[in-house]
Structures are given as C-alpha cells and as structure tokens.
Amino acid sequence: MTTPDLAPLLAGTQRSLEEIGEPLSATTFVVVDLETTGGSPETSAITEIGAVKTVGGEVVGEFQTLVDPGGPIPPMIVALTGITDAMVMAAPRIETVLPSFLEFLGDAVLVAHNARFDVGFLKAACRLHGYPWPGNEVVDTLLLARRATTKEEAPNKKLGTLARVFGTQVTPNHRALDDARATSEILHGMLERLARFGITHREDLDSLRNPMPEKLRRKAVLADSVPAKPGVYIFRGPRGERLYVGTSKNLRARVKSYFTRGEQRRQIREMLELAVAVDTHVCATEIEANVREVRLIEEHRPRYNRRSARPERTAWVKLTAEPYPRLSVSRSIAGAGAALGPMRGAGDARGAIEALQIALSLRTCTTRLPLVPRPHARACLLKDLGQCSAPCLRGQESHYDDAVSAARDAMRHDPSPVVAALSAQIQEHAQRLDYERAAELRDGVSALIEASMRAQRLAALRSVSLVAARAQGEGWDLVSVAGGLLAGSAHVSHGVWETAGTLRDAWASLDVVEPLIEEQEMLARWLERPGTRLLHIDGDWAQPLDGAGRHASWVQARRADHANVTDSRRGGS
C-alpha cells in the first residue's frame, strides 16, 4: 500500500514539549498521615488528618484537622496518640473534611508511609460519602525505604527508625501533622539517594513499585537520542526487524518508561529483551501520529502488536455472486453482489444475516443453485413454513430476485423493512417470556443497523476532500482529508488560513489507494468531535436522511443492555 508522506508540511509549525517529562524537582508532593480508631476502614474511623505539600523540597502548604469519628476512641488509641473523645467532640465529621482535603491534594503525587493503610481509609471515606476518588499517583515511603536504605542502617523501616537515619528536624509522635512533616523530610532524603540510580523524573517513580531487571534498565539509553516530541516510535530487533509500533505525546519519555516503569506484560517484556534500537517519526498532531501508527502496523505487521495488526480479519456480510444469491460471512468483499460492513465481529455478522433471512425470506441453504431447477428438485421445510420462496424448486418464478433486491437495499441504504418485520416478532417472544430469543433477534437487527450506519458514515467521508481545524493548547490543529485518507496535518499558533491553503494543495499529491477502515474511523471521530471547524470542503459531506441512522436507538439500547450486563458481572451497580 502506497501512503502519502505525512512529514510536516510547513517549516516552523511543529510544536515542542518539555524535555523528558517532569523532573522531581518540579513535582508537587502531598505527604499525608492519618490517625484512626483502629486498623480497618470497615470497622474504624479517622480521627485526624495531617498533610504537607512540597515542591522541590520546599514546603508550600500544610493541612491539619481533627475529625469526629462518630463514636468513642478506644483507650489503647488514646494512649498511643493522645487524642481523646473530648478533643474531637467539636471537630468536623469526615464528610465535611473531605472536600477541603481533596482540594488541597489536587493533582499532586500522594505520599504516605505504609500508603495502603492511609489511602485505604481515605478511599473508604470517599466511597461512603459519595466523593469520587481522584486517582492520584501514590508513592509509599515504606517501599522507597526498602530501595534506598540498607539493613545495617535501618534494620526495620518504621517511621521513627527512618527519621533517625535521615536526621529529620521533626520527630514522629503519632500525631498526624508531625508524622507527615517527618515523612516529607524522609521522602526527600530518599529521593536524593535514588537519583544516583536514575530516579530523576516523575515518570521514573513507577519503577520503584515494579523494578525492572538490570539488563533492561541498561537499555534506557536507547531513549537518549529520541526527541521529546509527539509522534510514532518503532522498536527494532537485532536483524532490523520491526518489533513494536506505538504513539506518544512525548516520544522520549514514553520510550524511556519501557525500561524504567516495571513493564508487567509478558509479551512486551519479551519484546524489550530483543530490542536494540528505536526509530521515531515526529508528527505535527496527535491524529497524524495515530494514523501513521495504523499504517505502519498494517504495512509491516510487527510481531508484538496486537491491536490493528490484522485488518484483513474484518468481517463483512455479503450477497454471493450466483443466480440465486445467499448471505454469508466473509473476510473479503471481492466479487460480492452486495456487502454490509465493516461488522464489529463475526458474531454480529451472523446475527445480521439471521435478521435479513427471517425478515426477507432469503434462502438459508448453502448449495449453489442452477438458474433452471434440476429435475426432481425438492424444497426444504422453510418453503412449507412460508419462510423461503424456494428458488431451488420454482426458479425465476419464485420471484427470489425481489427478496435479493430488498436485502441489497436494506444492507446499503435503509434497513426499515427488516426493523418493521422483526419488531413484532421480538415483542411476541418477550410476551411469551422468551427473553433470550427476543434478545437474539434484537441484537441481530441492531448489528444490521450499526453496520449500515458505519458504512454510510465512512462512505460520506470518502466522497469529500476537506481541511478542518480544532483548538489545541495555545494554537490550532489542522487536518487535511481526501477520499478517507489523511493528506497532512499541522499545528500552528497563527496563520491558520495560509496553512489551510497549503494543506488543501496536498489533495492533488495523494496516491489513490483504499484507505484502511481504522484510519477512516479515526478521522471521522476527529472531525465529528465538538469544536471542529471546516475551513475548506470539496464535495457533499452528508448521510441519507432516510438511511440507517434513523434507527440508531436500536444500537444505543443494545449497547446499554450489554454495558449493564458487564457491570453486573463485575459487581458494579
């Protein structure tokens, strides 16, 4: 497949990113410590929250409050912390404290000593009182201590022991704010030590939780020559073969992360062991990177790519090219009398076929029938049931061509006859409490509608050439599309119309090729997002008013039903 060159079309329009991600010296940490009435968030409650916010080792904010646990504090806890029932009597409840604490936390890295304990209590409180957990990155100083200290200097990793090792100014005393202050000092002391092992950026913190083998960590130098810009990266093996293709907004940070973040996927670990080099293609926009990735995967079929690796596996429903066509699932539409798709999968294809067969009385047999029926030909039971016009027996007198024409129209244009015919059957099955059969028919009709909608949507895109723009950061992303192919893109902070004119000229230089389905759908999603503005268009970008889209509620109902089933299996509500 010949593809157009997606190199930046204009000098000076490429955006840049910060080098290698966010350095730890610029990372905001919020160190938190809790005091509680016991060891389990299921049976105990928070009595005090203390937190310290730092940037570059400097304290920029503190948060402290007692919390009314809603019940008596056990004597053992009083003896340990010094927090009494009288002290928390006038304190706010946790549901009142949480909004202020979450605002203080923001998007900082959350730090705690034995983080499972503190984070567990905070998550439980949020869940109980209806606050969404923000999902901040978490660093456990207990885990860091196992990497940054020896057994000789810290035979145990208790907070008091670590405070002695790092000579903190604040001594831990089982009060939340003082313990958070001590933990903050210990954190920065350990980060200074860990810098010698390459832990210098926020992106490196994950490697502390999932350490990489030394032989892979040494390969992090492959990222040294990679630009810190958006684009596509390609890992190559010892024979120059392409092992894996991916995209990133920051190529250097992403490539480095493979060797520092403790990759857990077995296949990717295997790929990293083989990798000896990394190629990159800098792209002007995110959509350009995504399209280039899909094209490279389709062209080279890298061994370790799973997504997008086999576009030929796309399922279609087609009418066979024979005297009395029948419906079949196919991976190719070559030689098809008519085709429906692309389908979401073979299951959807079979469901759509059944819906068409039942609604339009299409034959279900797989025999290739002659134009003139054979002597002594016999029809199957479907003829007697009135579900097939029996061209095997009656030939052209069966008017089977009418059923084929109706199927072709339902597949290409408007599935309304199928919807009307099966709606009554679905309702009858539901009234007889045969919900399983009703759902099967509903899914078949929905698969037919969805495939027809996809086909009409992509056909509309292939029929036009256009240039569109959407605000991105402090500038604009511009995209040029022709015949369903990405012709070029650019990111500019000024000169939008001049750039759009240059991108429009790229239409003429495009090779005429069949665009990949995944590329077409990526472009369609980008163009349909709110905020996209059309700058130039050649052709009519429209879908038929009486097409499959007017039955979109069937597709939405099916998706909602399947989502509810998935949630229930996962234990969701």
Structure tokens at 245: 């293709």
Residue type, 420: A
Distance, CA of 214 to CA of 210 (rounded, Å):
12
Place of tokens 């047999």: 365
Distance, CA of 319 to CA of 265 (rounded, Å):
42
Q: Which of 133, 125, 142 is nearest to 68 (CA)?
A: 125
The alpha carbons of the chain give a radius of gyration, in whole angstroms, of: 32
Residue type, 388: C
The answer to whether 187 touches 29, Cβ cutoff 8 Å, is yes
**Residue 130 CB: number of other CB atoms within 10 A?**
8
At 59 the three-state DSSP class reads strand
Distance, CA of 275 to CA of 195 (rounded, Å):
26
Report the phi/psi class of residue 106: left, alpha or beta, with left for phi > 0 and alpha for psi in -120 to 50.
left
Q: Which of 137, 142, 253 is nearest to 206 (CA)?
A: 137
Q: Strand 28-36 and strand 46-55: pairing?
A: antiparallel
Show the beta-strand stretches assigned E in 86-219.
Answer: 109-112, 138-140
Distances (CA, A) of 166 to 199, 209, 449: 19, 22, 66
429 carries an active-site annotation: no
Cis peptide before 342 (omega within 30 of 0): yes
> How many residues are listed for the chain in this entry?
573
Distance, CA of 386 to CA of 379 (rounded, Å):
12
Q: Among the options 113, 129, 174, 376, which is catalytic?
A: 174
Q: Strand 28-36 and strand 109-112: pairing?
A: parallel
Question: Which are the catalytic amino acids?
Answer: 174
